[in-house]
A and B are shown apart, each in its own frame.
Chain A
Amino acid sequence: MNVPFDPLRVAAATGCDVAPVLRERGQREVFCGLTGIIWLHRKIQDAFFLVVGSRTCAHLIQSAAGVMIFAEPRFATAIIDERDLAGLADVDDELDRVVSRLLERRPDIKLLFLVGSCPSEVIKLDLSRAAARLSGNYMPRVRVLNYSGSGIETTFTQGEDACLASLVPSLPNEGNASERSLLIVGALPDVVEDQWKRLFCGLGMARVQFLPSRRAAELPPVGPNTLFLLSQPFLADTARALEERGAVRLAAPFPFGVEGTTLWLRAAADAFGISRFEFDRVTQPAAIRARRALDHYRAALLGKRIFFFPDSQLEIPLARFLAREMGMQLVEVGTPYLHRQHLAQELDLLPQGTILSEGQHLENQIDRCRTAAPDLVVCGLGLANPLEAEGLTTKWSIELLFTPTHGYEQAGDLAELFARPINRRTRLVA
């Protein structure tokens, strides 16, 4: 099964004309944007996320990860109660009280996000005004920002997008340095950041920064000399905000698998005038290692049929990786939202005739999935066990965000995430 991989040859065998997108409306089985807090609160080590919402919001965040986080969480909910709704309590006073209690308890917090929710939006709580007021009270010790993670506005990973977009206006100006710099956008595991720093450094690109930074005080500067690469496909608002600051997006597929990673890195290398020879010299060892890692899992995945329920917006890049590098067949690739511009390079790489669906009508989609009887279903936590009980093999999609999956060194791990449920099925007899 050791098919030598050649991105250019594979690319020639496919085309850009993907079948028309199936657009559906109905019940959507997706998380809201608050869920992103589960990984964001560990990424920015001195930030705190205060959801202004209902008991449902609090319950969602503590349940969504499927487990409790045993370290002291850097998130909490200010639960709106009937006194707030009836106007008996002044919402500003209440918020001031909650924030002051919180900051007293956590003097280490430097950045506080007020996170809007469905109820706070329906009652039109103006959190941006509240954030400005609280920033006035607590700066320079604590900066207070706001964004919406509500389910009526955001789907799952869009919460991260909203959060990062809210950071952009407070990024420092890049100053008058004429040198261009590269900004990598998207919350990444520290290990992935460190690997990329090393790779870019090897390419002679020292000015590489990350958004979000690990600490609030280390936010990267931005300006017209900033070129940025999105590391995740769901960062539309953040990209727009960066473009408003003059930064320029480098179009590329996303860095999943060897091919995605190579094309993504090459987009930066080309922009910084690094020769193809130099690029290959630096990246080839890791790419070759990654291909070897993928070989381990190809036998398990080759020819297997996969069905994606819409969830994280990672579906299209992952489908591209699984189809082109692991030889999987794509039955249906669902995405909650299809950003055609940011995904243009990905769509070009998808096999001809791939069925894409956007939005969701859950019951109809489950019917299609049952009829197709795929070898592997990628879906959310609410669906996985019921589908397993029906005899389907599933991969829960939230793990794709909780595991380091980007770049060369994680390509094998990413493939393994899909191979494992299939492997497991073959092991169990009882």
Chain B
Amino acid sequence: MQLTVWTYEGPPHVGAMRVATAMEGLHYVLHAPQGDTYADLLFTMIERRAKRPPVTYTTFQARDLGGDTAELFKSAVRDAYERFKPEAMIVGASCTAELIQDDPGGLGRSLGLPVPIIPLELPSYQKKENWGAAETFYQIVRAIAGARAPAAGAERTARPADRRPRCNILGPTALGFRHRDDIAEVTRLLAQLGIDIHVTAPWGARPSDIAALGDADFNVVLYPEIASPAAQWLKKAFGQPATTTVPIGVSATREFIAEVAALAGVDAAPLLDWEQSRLPWYSRSVDSTYLTGKRAFIFGDATHVLAAARIASRELGFAVVGLGSYTREYARELREAARLLGVDALITDDYLEVEARIAELQPELVLGTQMERHIAKRLGIPCAVISAPVHVQDFPARYSPQMGFEGANVIFDTWVHPLMMGLEEHLLTMFRDDHEFHDEAGPSHLDKRKSAAADESRSAPLPIVWAADAERELRKVPFFVRGKARRNTETFAQTQGLTQITVETLYDAKAHFAR
């Protein structure tokens, strides 16, 4: 048993719903008790979709358990087929139905419906949402595209010279972090390279489109957490290569362009020369010098965390003081990225651990999910959201991609905006007693929210006493670094064997930890 306050990922059947809801002409019959229908609101409220997810739930109750829940499932499949006439159906169980072992796949197939019935085995007590999405997408691709796979070992025929190169875009789902806009941005980049999009899936694809996936020259994997298993299978079955670079950030976008150009056999140089992101120049602008060494903590899914670590350290000049992810499947890549930055990777889906780590590190900026936004708000630390799990605010009305050059522009604005502006920071440091412009007021361009003084969260009771004048002096340190200053001073005092902290100790520590 795991104590969970907030969860980063839903159960795996919610991942399956993200795939089903993104697609057209597919219907999902889920063996599940009443109550599990809450998942509909993720799509209709958080993502504001105008259609109900294409999901039928059996919504069995206690009184059904003694009777025939299998028959209930079969009639649900039959009725859903009659009503919605999908091109294909996926069938499976949620956590509770998994325990009653009705075999949705076998029951679904026994009905003899004239469409493919794809069984999903999603172990709810073991796996989570992203895994469920990846597995579902893989099962759909294998079941539907598999029929057209060439014989094993057959050579892939080269693209005819008179046909433009074409690729599939794999991975975007419903309820993804900015998937809607990433598709548009990447599609535009590929169009600029003269590459056609054959199928985008699961987003917007019909089962009949899935059947034709093999006709593309290669696959663009936008979100490895979701598309990797399907892309690997397509590589094996159809000999289709797949991209490995996720185009988030300026450097990654440039690498992505070079990678797809090579796969498509086109010239990347014109697009690379024409590159139009404002991030590199804004970041070099003298106004941005105050960003130098800003201490950032990063947490989210693997794809966005790996990209954010790179952007934060190499494109914005932040100091990444910690990174982590709830995506255990990519722990190796995350640890490697962390090692290169000289920090430890926190691989966990325990919100309490993440909270403890942030409180301990006292970063100046948190790049995280809605959960970290919650933590950062309580600790009075600026925060920008970079990854799912999502919130209604993560579906902005405006175009707001994370990928490509426009995505880099969006990232620059989103990450820099929560921070204190350069000169304001200096003025706060110089005139700490100003009654309006004091440190508890927060950045003037943001809400007047009281910072839940991060410095109150002392790590552990120490046998060290703060002299009154030192305590007063500490209050003059701007709030967003005060917690760090307190901790550093206490650590310093401890290493020096001091029992009382004076104003002198405070400044000795400041000099000791000067960066």
Question: Which A residues are closer than 8 A to B by beta carbons?
Answer: 26-35, 52, 54-56, 58-60, 62-64, 66-68, 70, 72-73, 76-82, 84-85, 89, 91, 94-95, 97-98, 101-102, 105, 118-119, 121-123, 150-153, 155, 363, 380-386, 388-389
Contact = CB atoms under 8 A, between A and B. Distances in A.
B35 A70 contact: no
Nearest to B95: A54
Interface residues on B, range: 35 or more
Contact of A97 (B1, B62, B370): B1
Interface in B24-72: 33-42, 44-46, 48-52, 56-62, 65
Interface string B117-151: 00000011110100000000000000000000000
Given A28-B34, A56-B95, A385-B48, A66 B41 contact: yes
A70 B377 contact: yes
Contacts of B99: 85, 119, 122-123
A78 B2 contact: yes
B289 interface: no
B6 interface: yes
B76 interface: yes
Given A27-B59, A155-B34, A382-B38, A54 B51 contact: no
A30 B1 contact: no
A385 B44 contact: yes
A29 B50 CA distance: 17
A80 B62 contact: no
B192 interface: no
Nearest to B38: A60
A385 B47 CA distance: 10
24 contacts: A32-B35, A32-B36, A55-B4, A59-B14, A62-B6, A63-B10, A63-B42, A67-B392, A68-B6, A78-B1, A79-B1, A85-B125, A95-B1, A102-B3, A119-B95, A119-B96, A119-B99, A122-B99, A123-B99, A150-B35, A152-B65, A153-B62, A385-B50, A386-B44
Interface in B369-400: 370, 374, 377-378, 391-392
Contacts of B11: 54-56, 59
B269 interface: no
B83 interface: yes
B100 interface: yes
B1 A80 contact: yes
Interface of B: 1-7, 9-11, 13-14, 33-42, 44-46, 48-52, 56-62, 65, 76, 79, 83, 94-96, 99-100, 123-126, 128, 352, 370, 374, 377-378, 391-392
Q: Which 8 A-B pairs have the closest CB atoms?
A: A32-B35, A151-B35, A382-B40, A389-B50, A118-B96, A381-B41, A54-B95, A94-B1
Contact of B96 (A29, A33, A54, A385): A54
A122 B33 CA distance: 11
Contacts of A35: 35, 38
Contacts of A380: 41
A381 B392 CA distance: 13
A98 B5 CA distance: 12
A382 B41 contact: yes
B37 A27 contact: yes
Interface centre among B38, B100, B370 (most CB of A within 10 A): B38
B60 to A, nearest CB: 7
A32 B33 contact: yes
Contact of B10 (A56, A82, A95, A385): A56
Contacts of A82: 123, 125-126
A28 B44 CA distance: 17
B35 A34 contact: yes
A288 to B, nearest CB: 39
Contact of B125 (A81, A152, A382): A81
Nearest to B100: A122
A151 B1 contact: no
Nearest to B2: A79
A150 B35 CA distance: 8
A68 B5 contact: no
Contact of B374 (A70, A98, A385): A70
Nearest to B393: A67
Contacts of A94: 1
